[in-house]
Structure 1
Amino acid sequence: MLFRKATLADITGMSRVRMVVKENVLSDPGRVTAEDYRQMLEEKGAGWVCEVAETIVGFTIVDFSDANIWALFVDPDHDKKGIGRKLHDLMLNYSFELGVDKLWLSTGPGTRAETFYRKAGWEQTGITQSGEIRFEMDRTTYKAIVSTSQQTTI
């Protein structure tokens, strides 16, 4: 597995992963365009990908303009290999090192994503108008989680 910063050349692979997920499926696949990815990577945020055999199997993008996790998806054929967690950690480490104080995201209730974010230490702060759970993670909490995790693995 290769984890690296995403580039514009990765948009097709990221879009493919986004379209094969089984949860948080886009009701209108045309809703997220190549231009949306480009803006996120070049103007608003940053992204990371995971490659296996030169194929993108997971990606994440953070939107600094809104302090929001815009995307974190893993191809279902590559579930439960730690890809999502590694992408998550790369994104949060980078964001908080840049000085972001707090990030937020939303996801559907009762999903694997909800469980994932709760286990990763995200705090539920409400419900969005669309009925999704809103989570937040601040830099201080994340650093404490990382510190505790490192101490238990020593």
Structure 2
Amino acid sequence: MIIREAALADIPQIQLVRNAVKENRLSNPNLVTDEDCREFLFARGKGWVCEMKKQVVGFSIVDLQEKNVWALFVDPMFEKRGIGRKLHDIMLDWYFLQTQTGIWLGTAPGTRAAAFYTKSGWKETGTHGKGEIRFEMSFEQWKQRQGESINS
């Protein structure tokens, strides 16, 4: 398993992972274009991929402009291996090196993603978009959580 910064050449595989997920599926896969991925990866923020045998099996992308997690997805065939956790943690470590402004994300209620974010220390703060849960993480919460992980 290799976690590394996403490259332009990764976008086709990122799209495959994004469209393979069972939860938080896009009703229309064309809503997130390759150009959208390029913009969020290189103009608005940064992204990482998890690669196994030269295949992207998960990715995360953070948006510095809107201060949110734009995407965090793992191919269903590679779930429950700690990939999401590693992508999440490297993304937030990098984000909070850039700014101490809190970060937010939205995800559907009652999903494994919502449970993952709750377990990861995110605080539910209301709703977002079309009935999604809005989660937030402050710089202080992240640093405290990282301190707890180191001391565990």
TM tier, smaller: over 0.9
Decide whether the 8 Å contact of 1:67 with 1:100 is kept in 2: no
Q: 2:96 & 2:61 partners in 1: Cα distance?
A: 14
Q: 2:98 & 2:78 partners in 1: Cα distance?
A: 30
Quote how far apart the aligned CAs of 1:129 are: 4.0
Aligned to 1:121, the other structure's residue is in SS state: coil
Quote how far apart the aligned CAs of 1:41 are: 1.3
The range that moved more, 121-130 or 85-94, is 121-130
The amino acid of 1:95's aligned partner reads Y
Q: 2:42 & 2:142 partners in 1: Cα distance?
A: 26
Quote how far apart the aligned CAs of 1:144 are: 0.2
The question of 1:118 aligning with 2:118 is answered yes
Aligned to 1:84, the other structure's residue is in SS state: helix
**Structure 1 stretches (4+) deviating beyond 2 angstroms?**
none
- Specify the alignment match of 2:148 in structure 1: 148
- Normalising by structure 1, report the TM-score: 0.97
- Which ranges of structure 2 fall in alignment gaps of 5 or more residues? none
Q: 1:110 & 1:65 partners in 2: Cα distance?
A: 28
Kindly report which structure 2 residues correspond to 1:1-154, keeping only aligned pairs within 5 A, or say none: 1-152=1-152
Aligned to 2:26, the other structure's residue is in SS state: coil
Structure 2 CA distance for partners of 1:129 and 1:2, relative to 1, 3 Å: closer
Percent identity between matched residues is: 51
Q: 1:126 & 1:54 partners in 2: Cα distance?
A: 39
Aligned to 2:121, the other structure's residue is in SS state: coil
Decide whether the 8 Å contact of 1:47 with 1:62 is kept in 2: yes
Quote how far apart the aligned CAs of 1:127 are: 1.1
Aligned to 1:81, the other structure's residue is in SS state: coil
Quote how far apart the aligned CAs of 1:128 are: 1.7
The amino acid of 2:36's aligned partner reads D
- Which ranges of structure 1 fall in alignment gaps of 5 or more residues? none
